[in-house]
Structure formats: C-alpha cells, structure tokens
Amino acid sequence: MIILEKIRWKNFLSTGDTWTEVVLNKHRRTLISGKNGSGKSTLLDAWCFNWYGKPFRNIKKNSIINSINTKNCLTESEFKINGVQFMVRRGIAPAVFEIYQNGELINQEAKSKDYQKHLENNILKVEQRPLEQVAILGSASFTPFMQMPLGARRATIEDLLDISVFSRMNSTLKDQQKQMKDEYAEVSQRLSTGQRNIKTFEALLETITNQKDDIVNFKRDSIEQAKKRLEVISKEMTAMIEKKAEVEKKYLEKKATYDEYQNAKNRLVHDCRTGEIRDQKDEDFYAAHDHCDVCKQEIDDKFKSKMSGEIQKNRRDRQQLRDMIAEQDQKWMGIGNEINAMDQEIRGFMTSLGKFAGEIQTLQGSVASTIKEIESIEKKTDDIAKVQAELTKARDEVDRHQKLLNGFGEKSNYFTAMNEMLKDGGIKTKIIRQYLPKMNKYINDHLQTLDFFVNFVLNETFEEKILSRHMDDFSYYNFSEGEKHKINLAVLFAWREIAKRKNSCSTNVLILDEIMDSSLDSEGMDNLMTLLESIDPATNVVVISHRGVNESSFERHLRFEKKQNFSELV
C-alpha cells in the first residue's frame, strides 16, 4: 500500500511562486472548498503530474506552467511504501525529475523514460489508469469504470487483480511470435539464397577446374609436338652426319691424291724452271766464252756444238714434260671440280646441322619452360581454393539456417501452448472468474448502503446487468445521473477493497471531486457520508466541493481562493 503523505506545488496552473501544500495522511475526512476556478482540482493534476508526468485532466504539458510566472513550475510528493520513505520532485522550466529514497537521490544516469519506468514498475508498482480508478472519482475528464469500453474494463480489472502481468506476457509473446515469423521469413530467405549460392559456386568451381585442365592439356600437347619434332630432327641429323662422313671420306681420299698430283706437278714445273735457267745460263756462257777460268782449258766449237745439242735436247724434253703436265691437268681438273662440289656439300651439311642444333636448343628450352608453366599452373590453386572456401562457407550457412528453421518448429509449438495459457480465455479468466462473485458482492453491498436496491452483475466479459424489482436487464445508461453516481461510487469502493486485498494499486487516499455537487440529492449525500464513514479508517478521504456541504462531517476544511489571479490556500 502506498501512503501518500504530502503533495505540494508552485507555478502550477493558477498557483503562483509560493508552495501550496496539502497533507493527506493526517485526517480521515477533508473537505476542500472554494469557488469555481479557485484551484481545488489542481490538487489532482499536481499529484498525477508528479507521479506520471501527465496531469489528471487533459491539459497539454506546456500549458501546465503558470501563465503569469512562466517558470519554476514544480511539484513534490512525499509517500511511504512498506516503511520506505520516497520523495518525487518533478517540474518544468527548468525540467526536473528526481526520485529520493530515504532522503537519497536515486541514480539518474538512465534516460528519463527509464527513470519513469523505474518509478512506475519498481516503486509505485501501479500505472496511472488503475490508480485513478481506485483513488479518484472526479467529474472533469474522468471516465468511471462503468463508462469504459469493455477492453479498458478488462485492463482495469487485470490491474486490480494484479494479473496484468499475464497480458503483458501475452503481448510480449505476440511480439516474440511476430519476431519469430519475421525471423522465419528471413531465415527461409537466407536459406534459399544460400542454396542458390552453393549452385553458383559449384558451377564456378567446375568452370575454373575445366579451364585449368584445358590450359594444362594444351601445354602438354605442345610439349608432345616439340618432342616429336626433336625425334624427327635427331633422325635427320644422324642420317646427315652419316652422309657427311661418307662425303668427307671420299673428299679426303680424292683430295689426298689430288694434292699428291699437284705436289708432284709443282715439283716438275719447278725442275723445268730451274733446268731452263741453267740451260739459258750455259747457252749464254758458251756464246760469250771460249776459255774456262775454272779448269783453265780452251772451249772449242765442237764442244760448244755438243753442249748446245744437249741444251736443245733438254729443252725438248722439258717441252714434252710440260705438254704431258697440261694433258694431266685436263684430267685432274674434273677431279678438282668433284672435290669442290664435295666441299660445298659438306659445308651445306654443316649449315643444316647448325640449324638443327639451333632448333633443338629452342625446342628443348620451350619444353623446359612449358613444363615449368604446367607445374606452376598446377600449383596455382588460389582461385579454386577461394571458390572452394566460399562453397564450404555457403554450405555451412545453409546447414545453420536449416537447423534454425527446424528450431522454429519447436519454438512455434511452445508459443502456441503459451498463447493458450495467456490468452483472454486462459489463466486470466480463471482468476477473474474466481474474483467476480466477490466483486459483485462488494458492489451490491455498497449499492445497498447508498440506498440503491438493485442486483448488479458483472459477467466474465465485464458487461453489466442490473436487475431490480420492476426493471429487468437494465444497463448502466438506463439510470439517472444520481443513480449512475451511486453505481460509480459502489464500483470505486469495491475496487478499493479488491486492490487492498490484492495489494495491487492500493493507496490511503481517496479524492472525490465534485461528487457532492451534482446529481446526488440530499438523501444520496447522506448515504454517501454513511458510506464514507463505513470505510476503512486508514483511508484518507478528500471531498472537493464548490457548494456548501455539511462541514460537521469533516475533520478538516481547506479553502482555496484566487487572489490577484493566483490561487492559494486560506
């Protein structure tokens, strides 16, 4: 239970720069009076604004601040929950939001939205709507339970019974179900993308592997061709070398005899030339000399004629020899030509062999380099490895997503089961069913105290049936304003009792704003006062009225007045 002790406010609506403070836990019954617009209902707005950041009435946040002072709009509440003292301070211009626990400021590091959540969920443990339903009966912009649509009635009762947690769980569950559906769609999408990727990578891998094989095969072919060509060349070379050797042998033989002849001939020609020179010298000597200085003898004509005969004979012999040589030369000239031809042939062989050797070198070089190329292509598995890695990755992903999809089936079963439990007809309805007779009893008891003899029945769907002696099956709206007020009061008191029992949204304060002033006749008011007296002595009732009410029924009387445009307590 929350014991609200004090609320104070300044620069809030028509209140000026001095605090207006109302102590709430000291008197069982307080009357707040004052003329219209004097600032009575401001108490409700200050309270709701302080706890929830939203006033009780539908006032825009920026028009809460006092329009004359336009700054330092501030509210403070002091309350106790299970012996722990709290103070909440909230204001505008400047913005203030502070929660104090036993005098110490609670860490404000979190966002103000989270700070508010902390206040509502962990400290107050009650939201604005259910609190209003048990603590306030107001005329201004207040929707009594009976005027709520069925969904809001359900929510209020769930809060009262403290079972709204199941609704929150259900809405979380729905969010999770939606999330799962989205995830399922996303995972399915990824799965099919993954499957497509696998196909693409497989095709790519095949293409790359084939391409590599094509290149290697082409290179191997070229090596084969080079080797064949080398074989051909080698055979041709062997044949050529043999042929060359044969020609060379003949050449050498012929050349040897040819050279022999030439040498012999040269010797003969030389002999002829020296013989001629000698004979010419002798002939010249015999023509010029008749006496020999060496042997000291006379050279006679006879001797001269004999010597001349010999010289002539020598000359004839030499001529004969020369003729013979000329004849032989004719014969050897053919052989010389043959030798030359053979020489030419040998040179031809050598040129061809040289060319072959060059070609062999080129071919062998290209074979070696092609082998190296093949080796490096075969070693070069980078691209293939990359694609293979991608393929493995894609397969893993597909596996993972397939497992996830299988997991969704289980999760979906779990959600269905949870949904059965948490839906409106499930666990909540069981609890509500249990409490409904009690609620109806409280309401009917209070209606009797208010002198309103009807049988009020709220069913599981929170539709009401109100039966009385002459009227069957009436609804709330069939009744007069005063009667409706009585029903509202009876419901409110019933809710307070339920809240107290469930320790859900129970508070010491009950504020009735303008309830006395409208619709209730004097008898109705007397009944209400009886009802107020009958309720739990720990409840602090505040009745707000702008009309003369019997003051004697109240322990305390506070009066609001507006002085020079500012509301104040007098």
Residues lying near ligand ATP in the complex (CB under 6 A) are found at 13-14, 34, 36-42, 63, 65-67, 546, 560
Nearer to Mg ion, 41 or 50 (CB): 41
C-alpha distance from residue 383 to each of 204, 211, 215, 393, 397 (Å)? 10, 12, 15, 15, 21
Q: From the CB of residue 418, how many other CB atoms can be counted at a distance below 10 Å?
A: 17
First to last CA, the chain: 31
Q: Which is nearer to ligand ATP, 99 or 516 (CB)?
A: 516
Q: How far is the CB of 147 from ligand ATP (least distance, A)?
A: 19
Least Å distance between CB 529 and Mg ion?
Answer: 20
Cβ distance to Mg ion smaller for residue 59 or 81: 59
Q: How far is the CB of 426 from ligand ATP (least distance, A)?
A: 43
In the block, tokens 């709520």 appear at 148
* Residue of 30, 41, 488, 507 interacting with Mg ion (CB under 5 A): 41
- Closest contact distance (angstroms) between CB of 508 and Mg ion is 22
Nearer residue to ligand ATP within complex by CB, 40 or 90:
40
- Interaction partner, residue 225 (ligand ATP, Mg ion, none; CB < 5-8 Å by kind): none
Would you say 66 or 449 has its CB closer to ligand ATP? 66
Closest separation in Å from C-beta 65 to ligand ATP: 6
Residue 34 contacts which entry, ligand ATP, Mg ion, none (Cβ below 5-8 A, type-dependent): ligand ATP
- Our CB check for ligand ATP shows the closer of 39 and 130 to be 39
Rounded CA gap, 265 and 321, in Å?
10
β-pairing, 29-34 with 540-545? parallel
Shortest approach of ligand ATP to residue 103 CB, angstroms? Answer: 31
Tell me which amino acid residue 559 is. R
Closest approach, Cβ 75 to ligand ATP, in A, equals 14
Q: Which is nearer to ligand ATP, 42 or 504 (CB)?
A: 42
Residue 217: count other Cβ atoms within 10 Å of its Cβ. Answer: 11
Q: Which is nearer to Mg ion, 41 or 540 (CB)?
A: 41
Long-range CB pairs of 394-398 (<8 Å, 24+ gap) are 394/194, 394/197, 394/198, 394/201, 395/198, 397/190, 397/194, 397/197, 398/191, 398/194, 398/195, 398/198
For 323-360, give the DSSP string.
Answer: HHHHHHHHHHHHHHHHHHHHHHHHHHHHHHHHHHHHHH
| Neighbouring residues of 338: CB distance < 8 A, sequence distance ≥ 6 | 254
Quick one: which segment of 38-46, 49-57, 311-319, 486-494 binds Mg ion (CB under 5 A)?
Answer: 38-46
The CB-of-157 to Mg ion minimum distance in angstroms stands at 28
Q: Residue holding tokens 């839906």?
A: 423
Extract the tokens encoding 470: 């002459």
With CB under 5 to 8 Å by kind, the binding choice for 540 among ligand ATP, Mg ion, none is: none
Q: Which stretch binds Mg ion (CB under 5 A): 41-49, 260-268, 346-354, 491-499?
A: 41-49
Of the pair 41, 75, the CB lying nearest Mg ion is at 41
The minimum distance between CB 111 and ligand ATP, in angstroms, equals 27
What is the Cβ-side half-sphere exposure of residue 457, based on CA atoms within 13 angstroms?
11
CB-nearest residue to Mg ion: 41
Partner that binds at residue 66, options ligand ATP, Mg ion, none, CB closer than 5 to 8 Å by kind: ligand ATP
**Taking the complex as a whole, how short is the minimal distance between the CB of residue 114 and ligand ATP, in angstroms?**
29
Taking the CA atoms of residue 46, residue 83, residue 98 and residue 6 in that order, the dihedral angle to the nearest 10 degrees is 30
Using an 8 Å Cβ cutoff, are 128 and 507 in contact?
Answer: no
Please choose which of Mg ion, ligand ATP, none residue 130 contacts, taking the beta carbon within 5 to 8 angstroms, the exact cut-off set by kind.
Answer: none
Please identify, among the stretches 34-42, 216-224, 492-500, 532-540, the one whose residues bind Mg ion according to the rule CB under 5 A: 34-42
Q: Which two tokens stand for residue 425?
A: 């007809």
Contact between 508 and 540 under an 8 Å Cβ cutoff? The reply is yes
Kindly give, in sequence order, each residue whose CB lies less than 8 Å from that of residue 471, ignoring residues fewer than 6 positions away. 478
The one of ligand ATP, Mg ion, none whose footprint includes residue 37, by CB under 5 to 8 A per kind, is ligand ATP
Closer residue to ligand ATP (CB): 36 or 406: 36
Using the structure block, give the residue that is written with the tokens 């009387």: 557
When asked if residue 38 is in the footprint of Mg ion (CB under 5 A), the reply is: no
Locate 400 and state its tokens. 């993972």
Select from Mg ion, ligand ATP, none the partner in contact with residue 67, using the beta carbon and a kind-dependent cut-off of 5 to 8 Å. Answer: ligand ATP
Q: What is the smallest separation between the CB atom of 117 and Mg ion, expressed in angstroms?
A: 31
Distance CA(380)–CA(372), nearest Å, equals 12
- Alpha-carbon distance of 138 to 565, in angstroms, equals 24
Taking the least distance from each CB to ligand ATP, the nearer of 17 and 451 is 17
Phi, psi of 371 (to 5 degrees): -60, -45
Q: Which of residues 270-329 bind Mg ion (CB under 5 A)?
A: none
Q: Which residues of the chain form contacts with Mg ion (CB under 5 A)?
A: 41
